[in-house]
Structures are given as structure tokens and as C-alpha cells.
Amino acid sequence: MEIRNINQNDLEDLFEWRNNYESRKQFFKKNKITLKEHQKWFEESIKNPNKEFFIGELSGIKLGVCRFDFLEKENYSEVSININPTERGKGYGKQLLNYALNIYLSKKKRILIAKIKEDNIPSIKIFTSLGFLLTRKVEGVIHMEFTEKLIFKKVEIEDSLTLYDLLKKRNYNISHEVLPDFKSHKQFVENNPYLYWYIFSLNEKAMGTFYIKNDNSIGINTNEPTKEIINEILDFILDNFTPRKGIPSEIPNYFFINVSQNNNLLKDIVSSIGYMPIQVSYKLIRS
């Protein structure tokens, strides 16, 4: 899908989509509008710096429009989408919204609000899947606010300094008790003992890392765990990786998470999501 700003050539398409019967059922103003009314609105909107529209296209076919209206008094932008009636039900709505959000927020850091009729289940699902959370419901209208989603980046040698900074700040450790020097750390990153190793960031700030080992074990390292963040990390893992085939008495056929005994917050979060502990490990040292 390609994304671009609207132009004069989109006037009639937006008019047809706006007056479509199924579209109007979900609008707050259900009445049909005339072409003259639409032209006036279009000309004013395209010149308004507080309004921004993105058209999604695929192979020359216009798929839909995503609209952002910045309300200066309230200090937030309302976001909405309207899909070309002939292209509905094909999964384009989520992709269009996702691309438009990335473009808009890369230029303008603003609070985003969506207002959706409570019976518009498809739209609610799309917005929820991309990080919008329910804030309130007023007279049959769902109010949702966008929360930034995590950005996942595969670890590379160039990330050594970022990883070292995270390591120095880490509250809980399993594999070491003394902080290694940077040279040793960089060599560790170069040798990368993990099957998969990722840094996750929020609002351009590195929040922590996760890794997956050959034995299907997962380690999550962050000093700021929340249920939402851990849920998003685990969803990313389950959506993008498959456990290695199990070997009896060696490797289970499922992923499992290792958590430091003292990290009660992370243990509580993982349990609250619905995952059950399977064992407790003890470190043996000759006294």
C-alpha cells in the first residue's frame, strides 16, 4: 500500500465515499450532502493547516482515507478512517491507519483521540489493535486514546553502547553479579549467544531487551515493566517466532520465561496475564 496526502483529484472519490449508505450509518452526521457542500468543505479542509488527510492506494486503486483534525482548544487530534466501499472487508483499514499514524506522528507529537459508535465493532477492533485504549463511553460513543506501541529492533554490534547503558541500569540479574567492563560486554554482543535478541523502545527511548535461547527460554530485561509492555513483548514473540521442536528431557516444545527470584513485579505481571509458573531454580554454592 502507498500512502499520500489528498489532492484535487480525490474530491469526487471522497464525496462518493462520504455519501455511501453504509458509511453514513457510522457517521455522527448521517444526512447526505450535496456536491456543492462537499466542494466547499473540501477546499477549506485542504488549505487548513490543522487538518491532514492520507489516501491509501494499491495498484492505482484508492482504498480509503485517514483523517486527522487538530483541535487547538482541546490540544489533541481526532483521527478517523473511511474505506472505499468497494474495498471493505479486505483488511486494508488496519494497514491504512497504521501507515498514516506513523507518518503523522513522525512530524507531529500529539495526543490522538478516536470517537467511534459503540456498534461499529470493526472500527473499534482496528483502533484497538494499533494501540488505542478505551477512555470512556458517552451516549453510545466510544472514546479511545492512542498510546505509543513498542518498537522492536534486532540487536547488532552497533547497539553495544545502548545495551551497556541498559545493563548498567538493570535492577535484576540472573547471569552475572559483577558488571563486566565494556570491552568484555562488546565481545559478548559480537558473539551473540542467543537465537534471537531484540531491543525494545518507546517514544524513541530504549526500554530494555528480550532474548530467546535455543532451549526455548525467554529473558526479558527492563526496569519499567507494566502489564501493557510485557503483554506487547509476549505478543510480538508469539506472533513472530515459533518454539524449537521439543526434545524429551532437554527442550520443552513451548516457550518459557526465566525471571529473577527477586523481580516480584515482573513475576506478578506475567502471572496476571495468565501464565503459570512451572518450576523454581536454585543456585548451588559450596559453603
Q: Helices (H) and strands (E) in the chain — how many of each?
A: 9, 12
Cβ neighbours around 107 below 10 Å, total: 8
Residue 16: all three cell numbers together? 462518493
Residue among 71, 74, 55 nearest 63 (CA): 55
Predicted confidence at residue 23, as pLDDT, reads: 72
* Buried/exposed code over 182-192 (b: 16+ C-beta within 10 A; e: otherwise): eeebbeebeee
CA distances from 62 to 33, 46, 144, 158, 259 (A): 21, 18, 27, 40, 48
Predicted confidence at residue 256, as pLDDT, reads: 96
Predicted confidence at residue 203, as pLDDT, reads: 67
Cβ neighbours around 18 below 10 Å, total: 19
81 contacts 30 by C-beta, under 8 angstroms: no
Cβ neighbours around 40 below 10 Å, total: 12
Cα–Cα distance measured from residue 95 to residue 104, given in angstroms and rounded to the nearest whole number = 14
Residues carrying CATH 3.40.630.30, the chain:
2-146, 151-273
Predicted confidence at residue 171, as pLDDT, reads: 86
| Non-local CB neighbours of 153 within 8 Å, separated by 6+ positions | 159, 198, 199, 200, 201
Cα–Cα distance measured from residue 131 to residue 4, given in angstroms and rounded to the nearest whole number = 22
Cα–Cα distance measured from residue 224 to residue 203, given in angstroms and rounded to the nearest whole number = 14
Q: Which residues pair with 57 in a beta bridge?
A: 2, 62
Predicted confidence at residue 246, as pLDDT, reads: 94
SS3 state of residue 264 = helix
**Tens-digit pLDDT string for the chain (287 aa):** 899 999 999 999 999 998 877 777 767 677 788 999 999 999 999 999 999 999 999 999 999 999 999 998 888 999 999 999 999 888 899 999 989 998 888 787 788 999 999 888 989 999 988 888 888 998 889 999 987 778 899 999 999 999 999 999 888 877 777 889 999 999 999 999 999 999 998 867 899 999 999 999 999 999 888 888 899 899 999 989 999 999 998 999 999 999 998 899 999 999 999 998 998 888 888 87
- 3-class SS shares of the chain: helix, strand, coil, % to 5: 35, 30, 35
Q: What is the CATH number of domain 151-273?
A: 3.40.630.30
Predicted confidence at residue 162, as pLDDT, reads: 95
Predicted confidence at residue 28, as pLDDT, reads: 66
- CATH homologous superfamily, domain 2-146: Gcn5-related N-acetyltransferase (GNAT) (3.40.630.30)
